[in-house]
Amino acid sequence: MLFENKVLVGLNSDLEGQYILLDKANRHGLIAGATGSGKTITLKVLAEAFSDAGVPVFLADVKGDISGICKSGVDSEKIRERVSKLGINNFEFKAYPTMFWDIFGKKGLPLRTTITEFGPVLLARLLNLNQIQSDILNIVFKIADEEGLLLIDVKDLKSMLNYVSENAEVYRESYGNIAPQSIGAIMRGIVSLESRGGNTYFGEPALDLADWFSQDTSGKGMINVLDSSSLINDSLAYSSFMLWLLAELFENLPEVGDTPKPKMVFFFDEAHLLFKDTPKVLLNKIEQVIKLIRSKGIGVFFITQNPTDIPDSVLAQLGNKVQHALRAYTPAEQKAVKAAANSYRVNPKFKTDEVINELGTGEAVVSFITNDGSPSVAEKVTVLPPQSLMGAVDEITRQATILASPLNKKYKDMIDRDSAYEFLARKKIEEDELRQKQKNDRLLEIEAQKQEKLLQKENEKLEKQRQKQEAADQRRVKRSVAIVAGSVVGTVGREVGNTLGKSIGGSFGKKLGGNLGASLGRGILKNLFKL
């Protein structure tokens, strides 16, 4: 409840109200206690009061029982008894402006981000990568950024990983060895993420933080409820996305310094998951965000079972504390109770550790930042009941709230715009076509060379045949000429010989002269043809 610009959390035994000052709400806070001790009730009471003050709120609904904040509470004997005990005269049941969100898009508006906005550090955590694999993933992001490739959804990331792997030699000089084993490990992490619903995490339209900073027509701050009843089953996904949301607020909001009231209050339920098995580089980032985000006007409240779940460096930044019951049965549990008690300023009226161990449901030990910036002494209080419905809202009301939101049209349908996947797919097609063209051109060149060689061989064969035929023709001509010439010369020689033989005398001389003349003529002609 809101009283005089202060958030009334509860009243002590003297019916003195214990308040969180609105201008000190950005000093962050802690809500701790065992299961069933009343942490959820306290969270709702604070969220309602901040909403009444016009401050937008974000919170994760891990068990589904916060969703009733969108509906007026129902009167009961138990609530009347508590209100009467606390002496509250103006208590009334009322509903609060609520917007439901869901990473899976089933119980709220789809809450998405892009791969690029999520970043390599958180993505490596989400995929449970080792340091070497994380370094490779960072290189992939850097290459995508340098080459102007948008990483929006999972298929963009997978395409980029394949592209870098195929061109590892090209990038070796600039980035070192990009082992295919590391790329394979990242791919396996993505496949595992997809099997857990990761395809719905990344895409567009991505969350526009400006949509969280809204009020209803009466001036109440919007309460943004992230349904985490399914997401909490994947602790890495839950804590990674909660941290991403916190980092987005830190990185995108301007510095505002100290303000009369926070610009937003962020409740981080199951906060111990944020710090479980978290690498040191990320822990340092968390510490930095918590230290500096207050100057952005953001108050962060961690909800967990035990304060020891939170590192001391972060715990020291949490000025507004609500400690519900802790049960100490073992030495370790007793030590935890004492540690929790020692974080409070001593109240001489009671021993804080004993009170923490004895608190009933709905009771708490509180300490809040005062006007001078110092923490108040520990006070045992009975926490106020919420004004909205205790427990989960029915599904009909939830869906009606979602459909009635002006943001429903903006976020309900995923948009798949041109990004790395499409660009690399086109590039591959172009490269394949170029390679095919080059291959075809080479085949044509080879075929042309082959045909040229065949033609050359055919020409050589024809030339040999021509030469052979020419030689044969020459030989035939020579023989013909020789025969004809021999006949002519023989006849001439015979006639000459006859003439000579007549002079010798008689038929014998004639015959001898003719034969000698013919032989002589043929011998001369033969020698001429040899020359």
User: In whole angstroms, what is the distance from residue 348 CA to residue 159 CA?
Assistant: 65
User: In whole angstroms, what is the distance from residue 432 CA to residue 449 CA?
Assistant: 25
| Inside any domain, residue 330 | no
Last residue of a domain, one of 190, 223, 249: 190
526 and 437 both lie in a single domain: yes
Distances (CA, A) of 94 to 42, 45, 343, 503: 17, 12, 35, 168
Tens-level pLDDT at each residue, the chain (531 residues): 888 889 999 999 889 999 999 999 999 999 999 988 999 999 999 999 999 999 999 999 998 899 999 999 998 888 888 888 888 888 899 999 999 999 999 999 999 999 999 999 999 999 999 999 999 999 999 999 999 999 999 999 999 999 999 999 999 989 999 999 999 999 999 999 998 888 899 999 999 999 999 999 999 999 999 999 999 999 889 999 999 999 999 999 999 988 899 999 999 999 998 888 777 878 888 888 999 999 999 999 999 999 988 988 899 999 999 999 998 888 888 888 898 898 899 999 999 999 999 999 889 999 999 999 999 999 999 999 999 999 999 999 999 999 999 999 999 999 999 999 999 999 888 878 888 888 898 889 899 999 999 999 989 888 898 888 888 888 888 887 667 666 655 565 566 556 655 565 556 555 555 565 556 555 655 555 454
Distances (CA, A) of 83 to 60, 79, 267: 27, 6, 26
| Inside any domain, residue 37 | yes
361 and 476 both lie in a single domain: no
Angle between helices 235-252 and 280-292 (to 10 degrees): 40
104 and 128 both lie in a single domain: no
Residue 258: other Cβ atoms inside 10 A:
11
How many domains are there within the chain?
3
| Inside any domain, residue 272 | no
Angle between helices 131-146 and 168-175 (to 10 degrees): 100
| Inside any domain, residue 494 | yes
293 and 441 both lie in a single domain: no
pTM assigned to the model? 0.81
Name the residue range of residue 142's domain: 121-190
SS3 517: helix
User: In whole angstroms, what is the distance from residue 352 CA to residue 346 CA?
Assistant: 7
SS3 381: strand
Question: In one letter, which amino acid is 456?
Answer: Q
